[in-house]
Chain A
Amino acid sequence: MGVVHGQEMVLNIGPQHPATHGVLRLQVKTDGEVISEITPYLGYLHRCFEKHCENVTYEQVIPFTDRCDYLASMTMNFGYVVAVEKLMDIKVNDRVQHIRVIMAELQRIASHLLATGVFGLDLGAFTPFLHMLRDRERIIDLFEMTCGARLLYNYMWVGGLSHDLPKGFVEATLNFLDYFEPKIDEFENLLGHNKIFVERTADIGIMPAEVAINFGVTGPNLRASGVNWDLRKDDPYSIYDKFDFNVPVGQGIKGTVGDSWDRFYVRLQEIRESVKIVRQAIDQLPKDGDVHQSMPKKIRPPKGSIYSRTESPRGDLGYYIESDGSDTPSRLKMRSPAFTALGVLDEIAGGWLMSDVLAILGSLDIVLGEIDR
């Protein structure tokens, strides 16, 4: 456990490396197998999101938000439209709100399935990954049924949605949930209680609560450190205050609070909670209501600025929008949750072994598209 100062070596992990989840370069200083310092180099996927936004109208920004976090496009759309609607003071009807919540929570399930599956894959567990992708595929089929797209949806628009729910969507979703719910226990047994997986993740990469808060880590990573903080509960947006669900926090069941296993387990528990929310939202879904009802003809927010946060699968997704009264944003900044989660890597992964660093990186669930924007 102690750091031995021998001859240090500088190694690059990435930019092309399967365990970095995208194009990321980690420059690590190693002493044998022990990592003493990690310097991430970002920007390989930088696509000038914020600069582009200053040249397009408010509607045209939505497809760009899709492409930032391509594994959770619905929640990226959601965060943006919530921000613009707050700026313009638009109220949307109940049907739209319910459909948005259904989509966002299905997206959260899909994103967490991929996150936990790929985390297992990083550690060499191939089978759970296939099981999880199989079920994620069924969620993506539901999205395809709704708006035609499988990955980048452009579904939520300012003041409404691009399409209403298609015929048979509610039945298909309920069928899926009935099929899916028992599978969550299967995943938990398959991966969470697997001896090799526990040995590789429990007590590894511990993130204490005050470190997490100071480094701006949010979402499941923060909750795994034992902090009960979820914007859906603590600063409710849309209609999340109508639903009954729990906020799972890390308890250190297999090791210490805030270790890599807790980060995995919190995500798995969140899938259960999301299933609960989708069921309630479908149950309460109003029969009528035009999804284009509150859509403004021309989006010209009044002069002013807003910082609005929503809970994406990766944490607090913030949009800072400054409007000068025209139909293009004068400045749009996205506060990306994965960006801050990667920032903590050096703090929590220094001192561990090389193989543990990849486990810790996998447990943080980063998406490079959103980090580099």
Chain B
Amino acid sequence: MSEDIQVLIDDVVAKALAGDMDPINNIEDRVTRSKAKAALVKAKRSQPETEIKSKDSEVSEHSDVKAKDTIEHIVIASLTKNFSNFLDGEQNGEWIQMKPENWFDIAKHLKENEDLYFDSLQCNTGFDLEGGMLESRYNLHSMKHLHAIEIRIKVSIENPNIPSVESLWRVADWFERETYDMFGINFTGHRDLRRILLPEDWEGWPLRKNYEEQETYHGIVVPKVKEGWE
């Protein structure tokens, strides 16, 4: 590592510790940027009071809240303050059923709100509800507060559009591509929505319940699943 880069890194790390993250994020070269971010983590760890993960104190701080109410109620209460008309039908307390319209803004709130802080998207599952409805399910988890929720968004099979959240949680990039690949749910605003596991010229959405294989693929006959297959 050359010396002027080291000087630059020390400089931006000092600024970031003072609370200004812009200089780090503005570094053009991504290698230098990642080195600077790594140096920041190291610097933060040497200051125990600003540790990234102070799990024990967080848990004790929030355990009294948890005892009173389930996390689903807390999330709904927090969202109701900022958004209106986002719930889809009756809630059963095990998951939150939402409408697709302002999902991106809600997701942003879930990720950035200090009390919720769902920093990790665990899983995105597509689902065919049959009867002309598809569903996208998100399992969110907070590594800071150690709580988790499931969010379900229902769309019709004729108009399967859900706002993409891949710019919030980058892991959603590939998760959404997979759900698109298997169910044909269209994630609007995704930077690169292509098939991921199947070939690009494959026809149909394989995990829908009424899926039928195409007859031939590049001149090769596609074998059909036999009746009573075991």
Determine if chain A interacts with chain B. yes
Hey, which bits of chain A sit against chain B, CB under 8 A?
1-3, 42-43, 46, 48, 50-51, 54-56, 203, 206-211, 213-216, 225-229, 234-235, 252, 256-259, 307, 309, 316, 318, 320, 322, 331, 333, 335, 339-340, 343, 347-348, 350-352, 372-373
B17 / chain A contacts, CB cutoff of 8 Å? none
CB distance from B79 to the nearest CB of A (A): 21
Q: Which 8 A-B pairs have the closest CB atoms?
A: A216-B171, A208-B37, A43-B197, A351-B31, A335-B123, A333-B125, A256-B38, A46-B197
Q: Is the CB–CB distance between A318 and B139 below 8 Å?
A: yes
CB distance from A215 to the nearest CB of B (A): 5
Given A46-B198, A256-B38, A351-B29, A331:B169 Cβ within 8 A? no
Q: Is the CB–CB distance between B170 and A214 below 8 Å?
A: yes
A214 / chain B contacts, CB cutoff of 8 Å? 119, 169-171
Given A42-B197, A216-B171, A48:B206 Cβ within 8 A? yes
Contact indicator per residue, chain B 156-198, by CB within 8 Å of chain A (1) or not (0):
0000000000000111011000000010000000000001111
Q: Does B78 contact A (CB under 8 A)?
A: no
A-B contact pairs, 26 of them (CB 8 A): A1-B1, A1-B5, A1-B31, A2-B29, A46-B197, A54-B207, A206-B38, A207-B34, A208-B34, A208-B37, A213-B119, A213-B143, A216-B121, A216-B171, A225-B41, A226-B45, A228-B53, A256-B39, A258-B41, A318-B122, A318-B139, A331-B128, A335-B123, A343-B173, A351-B29, A372-B197
Q: Is the CB–CB distance between B125 and A331 below 8 Å?
A: yes
Q: Is the CB–CB distance between B206 and A51 below 8 Å?
A: yes
CB distance from A360 to the nearest CB of B (A): 11
Q: Is the CB–CB distance between A333 and B42 below 8 Å?
A: no
Residue of B whose beta carbon sits closest to that of A234: B146
CA distance A318 to B31 in the complex (A): 32
Given A43-B196, A226-B41, A1:B34 Cβ within 8 A? no
B1 / chain A contacts, CB cutoff of 8 Å? 1, 203
B171 / chain A contacts, CB cutoff of 8 Å? 214-216, 340, 343
Q: Is the CB–CB distance between A209 and B123 below 8 Å?
A: no
Hey, which bits of chain B sit against chain A, CB under 8 A?
1-2, 5, 29-32, 34-35, 37-42, 45, 52-53, 55, 119-123, 125, 127-128, 137, 139, 143, 146, 150, 169-171, 173-174, 182, 195-199, 206-207, 225, 229-230
Given A206-B35, A211-B34, A257-B41, A3:B137 Cβ within 8 A? no
CA distance A316 to B39 in the complex (A): 26
Q: Is the CB–CB distance between A43 and B122 below 8 Å?
A: no
**Of the residues B31, B41, B120, B146, contact of A352 by C-beta under 8 Å:** B31
CA distance A234 to B38 in the complex (A): 24
Given A320-B123, A333-B123, A343-B174, A1:B229 Cβ within 8 A? no
Q: Is the CB–CB distance between B169 and A216 below 8 Å?
A: yes
CA distance A56 to B225 in the complex (A): 13
A235 / chain B contacts, CB cutoff of 8 Å? 146
Residue of B whose beta carbon sits closest to that of A39: B192
CB distance from A329 to the nearest CB of B (A): 12
Residue of A whose beta carbon sits closest to that of B5: A1
CA distance A209 to B120 in the complex (A): 12
B122 / chain A contacts, CB cutoff of 8 Å? 216, 307, 309, 316, 318, 335
A43 / chain B contacts, CB cutoff of 8 Å? 195-199
Residue of A whose beta carbon sits closest to that of B211: A51
Residue of B whose beta carbon sits closest to that of A229: B143
Q: Is the CB–CB distance between B174 and A322 below 8 Å?
A: no
B199 / chain A contacts, CB cutoff of 8 Å? 43
CA distance A246 to B122 in the complex (A): 24
**Of the residues B37, B121, B125, B197, contact of A210 by C-beta under 8 Å:** B37
A225 / chain B contacts, CB cutoff of 8 Å? 38, 41
Residue of A whose beta carbon sits closest to that of B182: A50
CB distance from A201 to the nearest CB of B (A): 14
**Of the residues B30, B55, B119, B207, contact of A350 by C-beta under 8 Å:** B30
Q: Is the CB–CB distance between B120 and A213 below 8 Å?
A: yes
Q: Is the CB–CB distance between A1 and B2 below 8 Å?
A: yes
Given A208-B34, A322-B127, A256:B42 Cβ within 8 A? yes
**Of the residues A318, A340, A352, contact of B174 by C-beta under 8 Å:** A340
Residue of B whose beta carbon sits closest to that of A47: B197
Q: Is the CB–CB distance between B34 and A3 below 8 Å?
A: no
B146 / chain A contacts, CB cutoff of 8 Å? 234-235
Q: Is the CB–CB distance between A331 and B127 below 8 Å?
A: yes
CB distance from B171 to the nearest CB of A (A): 3
CB distance from B163 to the nearest CB of A (A): 18
Q: Is the CB–CB distance between A320 and B137 below 8 Å?
A: yes
Q: Is the CB–CB distance between B170 and A215 below 8 Å?
A: yes
CB distance from A370 to the nearest CB of B (A): 12
B38 / chain A contacts, CB cutoff of 8 Å? 206-208, 225, 252, 256-259
Q: Is the CB–CB distance between B207 and A373 below 8 Å?
A: no
